[in-house]
Amino acid sequence: MTRHLPALIIVIPLLSALVTSGSGWFNQKAPFRIAVSALLLSLLCAVLMLIQVVTTGIAMEYRMAGWAGPMGIVYVIDHLSAIVLVVITSVSCLNLVAQRKNIHAEFKDKQGAFNALYVLFTAGLIGMTATGDAFNLYVLLEIVSLSGYALIGLGNTRAPLATLNYLFLGTIGATFYLLGVGYLYIATGTLNMAELTTMIPKLMDSGVILFAFIICVTGLFVKMALFPVHGWLPDAYSQATPAAAGLIAPLTTKVTVYILIRICMTVFTPEYTFDHLDISGFIVLVAVVTIVFGSLSALAQKNVKKMLTYIIIAEVGYMVGGFFLGNRLGISGAILHIINDAAMTLALFLAAGIFIWKTGGESRSDLKGLFAKMPFTMAGFVLAALSVVGVPPTCGFFSKWYLISGGVQAGNYLFVAALIFSSLVNAVLFFRLFEIAYFEPFGEDEDHAHGHGNSHGSHHHVGALAIKEAPLDMLVPFLAACMALIVLGLYSGTIITNIIQFAIPTGVI
């Protein structure tokens, strides 16, 4: 049974996505139930595989349809992919449970379609993480992208245009990656990542390999919204419905960073990426610009969701910069930040989803007086915000600590300065929100409305009274995500020594 886990974790959601879309015709509640149970089963598979990989210390390899090695497609679960799989499945599961009411309200008769896309998106991410074949990765990347376009396009009236722009850039990114894989194939004659690793050292001086590297990495940069090619992300993510944003925002960029790490470390060896090519410094510089730009743009936003999307861009800068520092501390920080940032972004977007559900507005001023009305939600939101700022003992502090230590060790003080600057900006951002939510009384224009007339006044009044704590089935998953921030923080040492340490090749110091 455990032997087949790497296949089951993707086959279960893939097949249930098919069933889900049809089940909506027969029963309104069936799609949600099927989707949640499929994702729970995947989560179970992921946890079992993580336990097996950590206890045995050996990567699991699964040969699809029994075809071995370079001829067939293999799925490889090592320390890195096992932990990322757990992150993907748990985030996807928590978000779906938390957004049940949202999905029901927004997609009344289309719940089957939405849940099917949701599960398909998750299946694609799982496949991207688990696959050991460079071309299979492209196919799964496109599955993720296509279901992601559909999920975002289901948002408000502005969503289709934003999605179309995302689709153009996403296609450019994925096609660049495909082209890079083509050049890799020309040079090596294989698409299997494990075999590529053994062949790259002999071809270090090849121009074809250099071109393949540049074009692959550029494609991934477009997909993860690094600075000059970030334009699609804020529009697309902020127009999506809360249910879709809560899935896509925490996972897409993070998994793409994982793919970058996988491509640079497993396919092109660290010796090639860091020592042979003299580009690490330049990419760290781009990451620094991304961090500063993302933070400053977030500062300029009045819309809470849009502000969060710019924070995502800054966080992409953290991870890419930390990875390209090229030392053990920096890479550990980048990998730890993939896990932590997925949890933080999930918590923030769930909080935003609750605010929108309760107040109906997305603007900063819609948060007025919410501390008094929704104490538990706001407590969770404060926790998530402190984690983004990087206050111990939340998990955000620990990954930032590793990233900063990595920057100091590499002597890259610009990166360190950018991280500290971004933390300060985040503190300003969130404390500004807290100020509005804590000090400004709820419904400031209430008296104003009273003066106007009874009908208006009573309407406002009802609105003001109706806002109480969020419903339990939204609140519980949200608070679980917030608790995860502390748990991840407290156990970050364990995660580093038991998992991440083995994910980095021994050659990296």
Partner 1 sequence: MESIFSLVLAKANYAAYIILMMIGLYAMIAKNNLIKKIVGMSIFQTAVILFYVSIGCKKGATIPILRHHGHPEPVGHAAENAGAHAMDAAHGAEKVVAHAVDAAHNAVHVADYINPLPHVLMLTAIVVGVATLGVALALAIRVYNTYGTLEEDEINQQLRSG
Contacts with partner 1, residue ranges (CB under 8 A): 135, 138-139, 142, 145-146, 149-150, 153, 157-158, 160-161, 163-164, 167-168, 171-172, 175, 178-179, 182, 185-186, 191
Q: Which is nearer to partner 1, 54 or 73 (CB)?
A: 73
Q: How near is the Cβ of 218 to partner 1 at its closest, in Å?
A: 13
Query: Least CB distance from residue 69 to partner 1, whole Å?
Result: 14
Scan for tokens 């208006």, then name that residue: 456
Closer to partner 1 by Cβ: residue 59 or 113:
113
Q: Which is nearer to partner 1, 139 or 490 (CB)?
A: 139
Among residues 146 and 257, whose Cβ is nearest to partner 1? 146
* Nearer CB in complex with partner 1: 185/293: 185
Alpha-carbon dihedral sign for residues 345, 350, 356, 358: negative
Strand partners, 509: none
Distance CA 334, CA 324 (A): 9
Closer to partner 1 by CB, 149 or 324: give it: 149
d(CA 124, CA 142): 8
The Cα 394–Cα 387 span in angstroms is: 5
Q: Closest separation between CB of residue 171 and partner 1, Å?
A: 5
Dist CA 339 CA 246 (whole Å)? 15
Minimum gap (Å) between residue 168 Cβ and partner 1? 5
Helices (H), 467-500: 472-490, 492-495
Smallest distance from the beta carbon of 188 to partner 1, in angstroms?
A: 12
Nearer to partner 1, 164 or 379 (CB): 164
Pairwise CA distance, residues 422 & 54, whole Å: 34
* Residue 174 Cβ vs partner 1, minimum distance, rounded to whole Å: 8
Are 316 and 226 a contacting pair, CB within 8 Å? Answer: yes
Report the C-alpha gap between 418 and 439 in whole angstroms: 31
Based on CB atoms, which residue is closest to partner 1, 176 or 355? Answer: 176
Q: What is the CA radius of gyration of the chain?
A: 23
Distance CA(156)–CA(38), nearest Å, equals 28
Q: Smallest distance, Å, CB 159 to partner 1? A: 8
Burial 30-54 (b: 16+ CB within 10 A, else e): bbbebbbebbbbbbebbebbbebbe
Structure-token pair, residue 209: 């390999």
Question: Smallest gap, in angstroms, from Cβ of residue 83 to partner 1?
Answer: 29
CB 320 within 8 A of CB 260: yes
DSSP 190-204: --BHHHHHHHGGGGT
Q: How many CB atoms lie within 10 A of CB 104?
A: 14
Task: Provide, rounded to whole angstroms, the least separation between the CB of residue 236 and partner 1.
Answer: 11
Work out how close the CB of 362 gets to partner 1 at its nearest, in angstroms, rounded to a whole number: 17
Based on CB atoms, which residue is closest to partner 1, 191 or 304? 191
Which helix (H) or strand (E) covers residue 470, if one does? none
Quickly count: other Cβ atoms within 10 Å of residue 493's Cβ. Answer: 10
Task: Please identify, using beta-carbon distances, which residue of 109 and 278 lies nearer to partner 1.
Answer: 109
- What does DSSP assign to residue 277? S
Residues 6+ positions from 160 with CB-CB distance below 8 Å: 153
Count the Cβ atoms, other than its own, within 10 Å of residue 481: 29
